[in-house]
Amino acid sequence: MQSEVADIPAEPGTIPLRPRRRGRTGIALTTPALLVLAAAMLYPIGYTIWLSFNSSRTALSGTPDFVWLANFLKIAANRDFQAALLQTVGIVAASALLEAILGLSIALALHRALAGSRIFQTIFALPLMIAPVVGALAWRFVFADGYGLIDTIARDFGGEGPLWFADVWLARAAVVIANLWLALPFDILVLLAGLTALPTEPLEAARVDGASPAQILTRIMLPLLKPVIAIILVTRFADAFRIFDVVYVLTGSGPANRTDVLSTFIYRQMFTNFDFAGGAAASVLLVILTSAASLAAVLLLRERQGRA
Amino acid sequence: MSAAGARPARSRLGDAATYLFLTVTAIVMLTPILWIFSTSLKPTPEILVSPTRLLPTAPTLGHYGVALSGDFRSFLVNSLIAAGGATVAGLLLAIPAAFGFAKYAYRGSAGFLSFIVVTRVFPPIALALPFFLQFRTMGLIDTPWGLVVAYLPIVLPLMIWILHGFFRDFPDELIEAAEIDGLGPLATLVRIVLPLSLPGLGVAALFGFLVAWNEFVIALTLTRTPGGGQTLPVGISTLITQFQVLWGDMMAVAAIYLLPALAVTMLTQRGLIRGLMQGATKG
Amino acid sequence: MGTKLSRRRFLTTTAAAGAGLYLGARPLRYARAAGGKITIGTEAGSPYDTFYKKHAAEFTKATGVEVTFNAIPHDNIRQQFVQDALSGAGGFDVYIADQVWLPEFYEKGFIADISKQLSDADKADFSKTAIETVSYKGAVVALPIMVHNCAMYYRTDLLKAAGLAGPPKTWDEYRQYAKATTKDGVWGTMILSKQGIEASTRLNSFYQQAGADIIDASGKPTIDTDAGHAALEFMTKMVFEDKAAPEGVLELPDMQGAWLDGKLALAPVWPYLYSLAKEPLGGKFAIGTSPGLKRPAGTVYSWGFAAAAGSKNPEAAAAWVKWATDSEQLYNFGKEWLNPVPRKSAIDKIGADSSISDSDKAAIAAFAESAAAGTSMPMIPQYSQLLEILGIIQSGVMSKAVSIDDALKDGQQRAEAAMAG
C-alpha cells in the first residue's frame, strides 16, 4: 500500500496540478469519508483493542486491569483457537481457488454477451439477495443427512447420498460449497464490470497480431484486470475470514469442532465462556492475519504489474 | 469493448459450449433458491417430510399472508430506510474519497486507505457492544435513521475500496484534458470520470446496498422493536423459535425480501449491460 | 511548515474534530420513565411472548405498572441480555430466563435474588424440582413458568403391530422396541447429534439415566466415567448396531419432522410437540416417561422470569415475576399451551376444567409426571461451557470422528479446565 505514494507519476503529460495542490485536493476529497469513519469506528475499534490488553473483568466492571500480552498468548496457545485458525485458513484458501476458477469462467462466459446474458447475470446475483441465514438453511436442506435434496436426487438414480455432516471432510466441503454460493456473485459481477471496462485497443491489437484466445486472456486481459482482482481478493479475504452463519447453521462447528472458524470461536469465547478479553484478543489477531493476507495479495499483484 | 469482435464460424461451437456452461452453473446456483420459493408455498406438514421433495403438492399462499402482516411490513420499511439511506449517503462520501485516494494521493493517504480497508475486517460481533454503548449515548437506539448512521462505517469501506480499484486505472489523460479545460476536481469527477465508470459505480452501489440489506448483528444490537428500527434480517430470525423453525413463513418472508434487492440489482447493473451491448455491436 | 498542511497538524485537527463531535452530541436521554414502567425481554415467537403480551393488561390494572415487551430472536437472547447487563443500560427490567443461564447470571450480578417474592405457601405449591431449578446458593433467582423434560412420545399403533405395549421402561426395552418397529420406511427412534445445545441436553439426560451426572456432589466434573461410557455406547449401538435409528448428523427439526410425518415410532421430545402432533397423529400416540438404565426420565430444565439486577424499577420487576408465575397465570398458560406447569394448584385447576379435553388432560398429566420423575440440570455457572463440551463429545462420537474413549478423556480435560478457570 505504501507504493501508492510512489505511484504518483512524475512523467510529463500527466495531471498538471502541482503536487501541493494535488495533495490538498486529495485531502479535501477524502476527509469527509474519513471523518465519518473515524467518528464511528475509532471508539469500537479502540475499545476492542484496549480490552484485548486487559482482563475479562474489565468488560464486566469497566475498571482497567492491564495484563499486557497475556490474552494474546493465552488465545494463541488455546487448542481450539489453533484449530479454528487452521480451519479458517483452509476454507479461505479453498474458497479463493474455487472462486478464482469459477468466478472468472462465469464472468468470461457472461462477457461474451450472448443473447439472454442478462437473465443469467441476474440469476448469478440472486444468492446475495437472500438473507444469509436463510441461504444457509436452504443449503442445510440440500445436504441434510439421509433426506436432503442431494440424497433425493441420488435415490432417483438408485444410489444414496453421502452423509455430509457425519464426515469431517464432507462437512468442511459442505461449508466451502455453501460459502462459495454466497461468494461467487460478488466475484462474478466485479469481474464482469472489470471486463466491461477493459480498453479495446490492446485486445484488438493482439487479435490482429494473431494471438490465440488463451494468449489474449492470460497475457493481456488478466494483467489489465489486476486492480479488479485486487478488489476481489481483499474483499473476499475479509469476508471469508469472518464467515459465521454458514458454519453456525450447517454444522454448529461440528463434528467435534472440526468445522469451527474464527468467528464462531470468538462468539463462543465471548458469550458462552464470558471471556470478552480473549474474544477481543482473538479479534485483533484475526484482523492482523487478514490484513497480512490482503497486503501480501495486493503486493504480489502490484509487483508484476508493469507501467501500462 | 468486449473481445467478441468479428465472429469466426467456429465460435458457434464456443457459443453452444458457453450456453451449456452457463446453464449448468445457473441451475446449481438456483437450486437453494428454488427450494426457498417452493417451501414458501408448501403447507407446513409438507415441509419436513423425508425424503425432501422439491415441488409442493398442495401449494398455499398462507405463509405469504403472514409475511405481509403488520410486523413484517415494519421490518421491510425499516430495512428500506436503513439500507437505502446508507447506500445513498455512502455513495456521496465514497465517490469523492475513492477518487481522491486514486488520483490525488498525499502523504499518509495510503495509510488512511489501509485503515479504511482494515476496519471491514473486524468481526461485527466483537464491535457490537462498544457500538451499542456509543449509540446509546447518541440516542440513536431503535430507529432506522440510527441504523443509517451505523451502517455508514460498514458500507463506506467496501464502496471506497471497490471504486478506488476502478478509478486507479482511469486514464490520466482524460482528467488532464478536463483540467486544462478549466474543470475543477469535483466537476471532472462528475462530468468526465463517473459517466465512464458506470460498471464500477454499479457494483459499488449494489454491494454497498446488499451489505446493509443483509446485515444482522448490528441491527440486532441497536434496535429493539419492529415499530422502532428492527430490520427484516432480525425479523426473519424471530421465526427461529426455541423448538421449531417456522419454515414456511420464513421462506415467504425471504422471498419477499428478495424483491427490493432484485430491483436494486437491475438498476445498478444496467450500466453493465449497456457496456455489454456496446461490446457486441462494436465488433 | 508554511501553509502546507503538515501531517501532524492534520491528524491533531481531525482528532480534535472527532472528539468534539462525539462529546458534543447532546445525549438524548434514552427516556424511560423510572417507576411505573418496566421492559420485559422475551423470546420472539415463543409461547411466553404471545401469552404474556395478551395478559399484561391484567398486571397493569392490578399494579399500575406499564409493561413493554422486547422480543428477541431465540439464538440471540442470551447475547442481548449479557450485552444489556454489561452496558449497565437497564434496557431490560425482567428477563425470560433459561435455567441454564441462572447460575452464571447470578454470579456475574446480572439478576437479583427474589427470595422475598416466594411465600411459604408458594414454596409448598411449586413442585420441589421446580424450586430446585430456580435456586442457587441459597438464593431464589427466578420463578418458573415451565418446568419440563423430554418425555417419550410413542406410536401406540406401531408398537401394537409389533406385539408390544409401550412405553419402554429401560434402555434395553428402548433398544428392543426401536429395533422391532424399524421397518417399512419407519425408524424406531432417532439419536440427535448435531453439535449444539439440544443434543447436549440429551447427553446430559443419558448421563442421569445411567445413574450419575456430569458433575458429582462436590462439583468435580464426572465426564469420563462409567455413566459416560454407558451413555455413548447406548447411543452408538442404537444407530450402528441395532440400526434402529438413522445415521447422520440430525437435529431437533429432523426429529420433529419425522415424528409428524409418521416416520418415527419412539421420539423423546419436549412437551411443545404435543399440540403440533394432535392433528396429524390423533389417537395414534401416547406419552410416557423416558426410560433409563438406572433411573428414568430426561434432565429437567425450566424457563422462568428473572429480575434484572440493573433494573431502574426493581420493585415493579419483582412484582411482575411474582404475578406472572402465580396460580391463575400458570393455570391459563398450561391450558392455552398444553404444557405442564410447575404449580400443584394450577395443575388441579386444569384437571377440574371441563373445557379441556380428556386426552389433553392426560397429556398434561403425563408431561407433569415425566418432569416430576426427572432431576434438574446441575446448577453451576459453568453449565453453558459444559453443554458445549458435551456437544463436542457426542458430535465427534456419533460421526465416528473420535472414539468414545478419546472423546470422554478429552471432555473430562476440558470440563476440568472450565470448572477451574
Give the C-alpha separation, A137 to B107, whole Å: 48
**Is B53's pLDDT higher than 80?**
no
- Cβ atoms of B141 and B135 within 8 Å: the answer is yes
Question: Which helix (H) or strand (E) is C398 found in, with range?
Answer: helix C383-398
**Cα-flanking dihedrals φ and ψ of residue B187, to 5°?**
-65, -40
pLDDT digits (tens, 9 = 90+) for B196-236: 888 889 999 999 999 999 999 889 888 888 888 899 999 99
**Is A288's pLDDT higher than 60?**
yes
pLDDT digits (tens, 9 = 90+) for A47-100: 889 989 998 777 777 788 888 899 999 999 999 999 999 999 999 999 999 999
Of B21, B104, B120, the CB nearest to A25: B104
**Would you tell me how many other CB atoms lie within 10 Å of the CB of residue C200?**
24
The verdict on C17 touching A (C-beta cutoff 8 Å) is yes
Q: Using the 8-state DSSP alphabet, how is residue C115 labeled?
A: G
Identify the residue among B243, B245, B250 best suited for mutation to test binding to C, counting C beta carbons within 10 A and taking the highest: B243
Give the residue-averaged pLDDT of C153-170: 94
Give the residue-averaged pLDDT of C286-296: 96
Residues on chain C touching B225 (C-beta within 8 angstroms)? 70-71
pLDDT confidence of residue A7: 45
Q: Which domains does chain B have, with CATH numbers?
A: 12-60 (no CATH), 63-280 (1.10.3720.10)
Residues on chain B touching A50 (C-beta within 8 angstroms)? none
Bridge-based pairing of strands C37-43 and C66-72 is: parallel
Yes or no, beta carbons of A4 and B105 under 8 Å apart:
yes
Yes or no, beta carbons of B32 and A127 under 8 Å apart:
yes
Where is pLDDT greater, at C326 or B46?
C326
- Crossing angle for the helix pair A276-303 and A79-98, nearest 10 degrees? 30
The verdict on B161 touching A (C-beta cutoff 8 Å) is yes
Residues 75-134 of chain C whose Cβ lies under 8 A from any Cβ of chain A: 78-79, 82, 86, 104, 108
For residue C95, list its beta bridge partners.
Answer: C41, C306
Give the C-alpha separation, C288 to C275, whole Å: 16
**Cα-flanking dihedrals φ and ψ of residue C42, to 5°?**
-125, 175
DSSP letters, A198-263, are S-HHHHHHHHHTT--HHHIIIIIIHHHTHHHHHHHHHHHHHHHHT--HHHHHHTTT-STTTT--HH
Yes or no, beta carbons of C257 and B48 under 8 Å apart:
yes
**Cα-flanking dihedrals φ and ψ of residue A71, to 5°?**
-60, -40
pLDDT digits (tens, 9 = 90+) for B127-149: 888 888 888 888 888 888 889 99
Give the residue-averaged pLDDT of B93-120: 91
- Cβ atoms of A149 and B51 within 8 Å: the answer is no
pLDDT confidence of residue A19: 61
pLDDT confidence of residue A304: 55
Q: Which three cell numbers stand for residue B172?
A: 490520466
Q: Which domains does chain A have, with CATH numbers?
A: 3-51 (no CATH), 70-307 (1.10.3720.10)
Residues 22-61 of chain A whose Cβ lies under 8 A from any Cβ of chain C: 23-24, 27, 31, 34-35, 38-39, 42-43, 59-60
pLDDT confidence of residue A303: 65
Which whole-number Å values give the CA distances from B138 to B131, B146, C360, in the listed order?
A: 11, 9, 52
**Is C236's pLDDT higher than 60?**
yes
Give the C-alpha separation, A187 to C366, whole Å: 56
pLDDT digits (tens, 9 = 90+) for C247-265: 999 999 899 989 999 999 9
Q: Which three cell numbers stand for residue B229?
A: 428500527
For residue C68, list its beta bridge partners.
Answer: C39
pLDDT digits (tens, 9 = 90+) for C328-362: 999 999 999 888 899 999 999 999 999 999 999 99
The verdict on B12 touching A (C-beta cutoff 8 Å) is no
Ordered alpha helix ranges (H), A99-131 = 104-111, 117-125
Q: Using the 8-state DSSP alphabet, how is residue C65 labeled?
A: -
Which whole-number Å values give the CA distances from C54 to A87, B64, C98, in the listed order?
A: 47, 24, 21
For residue C183, list its beta bridge partners.
Answer: C186
**Cα-flanking dihedrals φ and ψ of residue C67, to 5°?**
-120, 130
**Is A1's pLDDT higher than 70?**
no
Give the residue-averaged pLDDT of C306-318: 93
**Would you tell me how many other CB atoms lie within 10 Å of the CB of residue B194?**
16
Residues 208-267 of chain B whose Cβ lies under 8 A from any Cβ of chain C: 220-221, 224-225, 234, 237-246
**Is C223's pLDDT higher than 90?**
yes
pLDDT confidence of residue C243: 96
pLDDT confidence of residue A20: 63
Give the C-alpha separation, B271 to A189, whole Å: 12
- Cβ atoms of B66 and B238 within 8 Å: the answer is no
**What's the gap in Å between the CA of C151 and the closest CA on chain B?**
14
Of A168, A255, A273, the CB nearest to C385: A273
Yes or no, beta carbons of B33 and A152 under 8 Å apart:
no
- Report the range out of A128-142, A236-250, C346-360 with the highest average pLDDT: C346-360
**What's the gap in Å between the CA of A264 and the closest CA on chain B?**
10
**Is A302's pLDDT higher than 80?**
no
Let me know the angle formed at the C-alpha of B59 by B57 and B65, rounded to the nearest 5 degrees: 160
Give the chain C residue whose CA is nearest to the CA of A33: C14
Give the C-alpha separation, A74 to B186, whole Å: 51
Yes or no, beta carbons of C73 and B238 under 8 Å apart:
yes
Give the C-alpha separation, B137 to B139, whole Å: 5
pLDDT confidence of residue A156: 85
Q: Using the 8-state DSSP alphabet, how is residue B57 labeled?
A: S
Question: Which helix (H) or strand (E) is C258 found in, with range?
Answer: helix C252-260
Residues on chain B touching A2 (C-beta within 8 angstroms)? 110
The verdict on B281 touching C (C-beta cutoff 8 Å) is no
**Is A6's pLDDT higher than 70?**
no
Question: Which strand ranges, in their side-by-side order, compose the sheet holding C151-155?
Answer: C266-269, C151-155, C285-288
Give the C-alpha separation, A206 to A220, whole Å: 8
The verdict on C21 touching A (C-beta cutoff 8 Å) is yes
Across all residues in chain C, what is the average pLDDT? 89
The verdict on B185 touching A (C-beta cutoff 8 Å) is yes
Distance from the Cα of residue A47 to its chain's centroid: 25
pLDDT class of B55 with cuts at 50, 70, 90? confident
Of A42, A43, A255, the CB nearest to C396: A255
**Is C141's pLDDT higher than 90?**
yes
Where is pLDDT greater, at B52 or A48?
A48
Give the C-alpha separation, C20 to C372, whole Å: 61
Across all residues in chain B, what is the average pLDDT? 85
pLDDT confidence of residue B26: 95
pLDDT digits (tens, 9 = 90+) for A11-37: 454 455 566 677 888 899 999 999 999
Nearest to A189 by CA among A93, A101, A110: A110
**What's the gap in Å between the CA of C14 and the closest CA on chain A?**
7
pLDDT confidence of residue A127: 92
**Cα-flanking dihedrals φ and ψ of residue C342, to 5°?**
-85, 5
pLDDT confidence of residue A62: 72
| SS3 readout for B164-213 | HHHHHCCCHHHHHHHHHCCCCHHHHHHHHHHHHHHHHHHHHHHHHHHHHH
- Among A138-142, B102-106, C8-12, whose mean pLDDT is lowest? C8-12
Give the residue-averaged pLDDT of A104-122: 88
Nearest to C21 by CA among B109, B117, B134, B145: B134
Which whole-number Å values give the CA distances from C223 to A142, B68, C228, C231, C389, in the listed order?
A: 35, 49, 6, 11, 10
pLDDT digits (tens, 9 = 90+) for C71-107: 899 988 998 998 888 888 788 999 999 999 999 999 9
Give the C-alpha separation, C209 to C226, whole Å: 12
Which whole-number Å values give the CA distances from B245 to B128, B241, B250, C248, C271, in the listed order?
A: 26, 6, 8, 20, 16
What is the longest distance spanned by two Cα atoms in chain B? 71
Scanning the structure block, which residue is given the C-alpha cell 494463541? A76
Yes or no, beta carbons of A165 and C194 under 8 Å apart:
yes
